[in-house]
A = this chain, B = another copy of it.
Amino acid sequence: MNARPTMQDVARLAGVSIKTVSRVVNNEPRVDPDTRARVQATIDELGFRRNEQARSLRPGQSSSLIGLVSGDLGNPFYSAIARGIEEITYEHGHLLLTASSEEQPERERQLIETYLQHNVAGLIVAPTLDAARTITPELLRGVPLVSVDRPVSDPDPFDTVLLDNRAGARRAVTQLIHDGHTRIAIIDGNPRVYTGQERTAGYLDALREAGITPQPNLMIHGHHGARHAEQATHALLSQEQRPSAIFATNNRIATGVIRALHARRRTLAVASFDDFEFADVINLPLTLVSYDAMDLGRAAAARLMQRIQGDASAPQRLTQPVTLRVPGDSS
């Protein structure tokens, strides 16, 4: 457990000044090759590693930390985003701090503050519902922030990377209509959630374009989570005017719908925002809005890297494309 060696230690042992060691460590040019070799040998011998905290303490020297606040790292959607972010930040020599807000605005604010105390060079946040109230430019003091999956507010003072929620939903529902469906139900989660709102708008777009009048009793909201969606599906199928297809606005809802149909041994067309493994193995006609969640993360991280490198242009809203996938249909 010998203490960690410092530049001073290396300098003493190599018989040079600390600044020369610094030059070698930072690959600065004006060092005699012999000196450089000698210093390097001492560094290797001692196993010296530069203390990053001390380095980034100097003003101007920004830290190489990036902070990520996601909704829930345990959710594959968020962890794929995190993976994409990690890929880009790693390439740029940054380290990634991760934490989950658990959709609690207070925890989100608290995490951002803690990150700022650690001098992060930038932040990526999947904002909670009430982020607009807590995440403000004053809180950030110039540290760049990119939001992902949802905007912080509208209009948005920050860069944002979103999915094309509305168009994706419209295309999925239009597909169902093409397949002959007219009684298409929608099951959505918390109506305050941005993505659900957009996807619901896309559903209505598709109906309107086809001249179909939306039926209130086919539009179920507030049923987030697989369990609620399962109950909602049972309710839908028990009512008078039954749907012939169901659009689930996300994969947890789709899971509930599929469970309920399985329990009732009923075959209904199911469309879902979010693709999932096993879609190919399920004996139901599926229409999936598919996309690469890692790409969302990559795009957000790439934008943040630009900001860190000094880009001061107006906040951007980037929309990532989605595609329609019909399992078993190899066209």
Contacts and interface: CB of A to CB of B under 8 A. Distances in A.
A326 interface: no
Contacts of A116: 49
A1 interface: yes
Interface string A250-273: 000001001100100000000000
B282 A1 contact: no
A242 to B, nearest CB: 21
Contacts of A95: 97, 99, 114-115, 118
A283 interface: yes
Interface in A1-25: 1-2, 4
A118 B258 CA distance: 47
Contact-residue bracket for chain A: 35 or more
A96 B138 CA distance: 25
B100 A83 contact: yes
Contacts of A117: 49-52
A108 interface: no
Contact of A280 (B118, B259, B281): B259
B100 A86 contact: yes
A79 interface: yes
Interface string A108-149: 000001111111000000000000000000100110000000
A139 B79 CA distance: 29
A80 to B, nearest CB: 5
A118 B52 contact: yes
Interface string A36-74: 000000000001011111101100000101000000111
- Pick from A4, A80, A98, A114 the residue with the most CB of B within 10 Å: A98
B79 A76 contact: yes
Contact of A255 (B74, B86, B98, B278): B278
Given A73-B86, A79-B79, A283-B283, 14 more contacts: A1-B142, A49-B117, A50-B117, A52-B117, A52-B119, A53-B57, A53-B118, A54-B57, A73-B82, A74-B82, A74-B83, A86-B99, A98-B98, A282-B282
